[in-house]
A and B are shown apart, each in its own frame.
Chain A
């Protein structure tokens, strides 16, 4: 294991930020810490980095107990949401910082920084100041800076949170490719489930200072441990007393076994996707289907329809 977190508890005053949290991060994995804000995911990341000290519990990095080590000696790379660029230094100097601190020979520093600037596509900007870069470029610079010291783990705290939607999508794909090239164990914090599913190969869902569930994106989506995970990781609707995915509901023209009668309230066509709002026993339910399925049904607001849970292969 690259990172082992054992029974970590952390309070800020009366607020319990981490409540007896244990988690393993496999070497070479790309893990997302996912959850609503205030759920403890950033605190956990900062505890791993040594930027917060836990009240109790143990953090091991590459098999050594790092709980009492200062951040300088943990060999982690950390990337902040707001970049934390060294504003008075050029892009080159920013990336070279960790190497200069380690008193590496000048020629080696030059080679390594050039290599990293190429990796993050910032070679033409080496002499610029961070204030002359866009948000996306600054974050790539921060990544290169963190990677320069060859950390054992790379920790990213909401790395795309301050960027606009388009740049965010690009950087996501880029981080995924970077990880495939560099293979450094990576943990990133996000509150965006789509981002987590898109980028990570493992997801740890956190809320209220506890881990709700961990697993691959598919496992979490298909077999959520509880209603919270289910509703956090995708669309849900309530049929009777059960929480179901709206695309796992099937609408029928006539009654079958296990189907329930319902009334069509509204049909929303979003291009390929169609959302049908229905009423079952007086409560609102919505069903998600493709246009082609919707076209085969007789969906008129006010009309009668039958609904049941689709039989899935699982």
Chain B
């Protein structure tokens, strides 16, 4: 038996944890919130309904939804591959999945330009056929997909491992095809892990800045996402629009996280 920690230690640790979160997270985000609504809700709506802001919103949603859809499909497929199959190079694949977490987004952007830039062989070939990747939505979507790649995989893999393969095998012996088994057994079993992965991917996609900054060319009213809009407004001393957009950005991500946690049943 170990003794329970003394009250001093217990309260000390709580204060430390809360203080750490307060100075890093709560106070800065709270201040953004406060500065946003300093002069009431009117200026906020006004700042967010300018044509540039609206356009940035649209571009962000476009890029984020492409990234979420792509990484959901890819993430589930790779998770199944990693958990349910044995093959050569599995460890390499496993490591590659985590690479986007290790590589700076700026490098990701530069790497994409190296392949798909209009002056490069691949990019040039595509450009001749009227497909622009860099300085356009496709490149921005690719950059976002890349940086948010591991999130669905890392959320789904542990759930798949925990659920095990026996329910799926039972479904097979009852006559269910692999697709029926996936739809009726596997997907419901991993749904909360998957939902968590999707929300994280969405949040990451909405907030991506570095790779997008490189790949988009930051063309106002064309390839400007909300994060780029925030930065550009801030640089131009339009702090109000910057705070309002930052608030909107954070709001969407927080709402998604909270909505998922509320709808999730207690026991699973």
Contact = CB atoms under 8 A, between A and B. Distances in A.
Contact of B166 (A50, A76, A84, A101): A84
B80 interface: no
Interface residues of B, number: 17
Contacts of B173: 49-51, 71-72, 74, 76-78, 146
A80 B167 CA distance: 9
A121 B182 CA distance: 30
B17 interface: no
A86 interface: yes
A153 to B, nearest CB: 11
Given A80-B166, A80-B170, A82-B166, A87 B175 contact: no
Given A97-B174, A101-B175, A145-B174, A84 B169 contact: yes
B176 interface: yes
Given A78-B169, A84-B170, A98 B175 contact: yes
Nearest to B267: A131
A86 B184 CA distance: 9
A72 B167 contact: no
A149 B174 contact: yes
A70 interface: yes
A296 interface: no
B188 A88 contact: yes
B180 A101 contact: yes
Closest 5 CB pairs of A and B: A98-B174, A84-B166, A84-B170, A78-B173, A71-B172
A102 interface: yes
B185 A86 contact: yes
Interface string B170-200: 1111111100100011001100000000000
Interface in A87-102: 87-88, 97-98, 101-102
A162 to B, nearest CB: 12
A87 B189 CA distance: 8
Interface of B: 166-167, 169-177, 180, 184-185, 188-189, 267
Contacts of A74: 173
Nearest to B176: A101
Nearest to A151: B173
Contacts of B171: 86, 97
Interface in A50-86: 50-51, 70-74, 76-78, 80, 82, 84-86
Contacts of B166: 80, 82, 84
A18 B32 CA distance: 67
13 contacts: A51-B169, A74-B173, A77-B173, A80-B169, A84-B167, A85-B167, A87-B167, A88-B189, A97-B184, A102-B175, A131-B267, A149-B174, A149-B175
B251 to A, nearest CB: 32
A101 B176 CA distance: 6
Contacts of B170: 78, 80, 84, 86, 142, 145
Given A86-B185, A88-B188, A72 B177 contact: yes
Contacts of B175: 72-73, 98, 101-102, 149
B112 to A, nearest CB: 40
Of the candidates A80, A102, A146, the one having the most CB atoms from chain B within 10 angstroms of its own CB is A80
A174 to B, nearest CB: 21
A51 B174 CA distance: 12
A72 B176 contact: yes
Given A50-B173, A97-B184, A146-B173, 19 more contacts: A51-B172, A51-B173, A72-B173, A74-B173, A76-B173, A77-B173, A78-B169, A82-B166, A84-B167, A84-B170, A86-B167, A86-B185, A87-B189, A97-B174, A98-B174, A101-B176, A102-B175, A142-B170, A145-B170
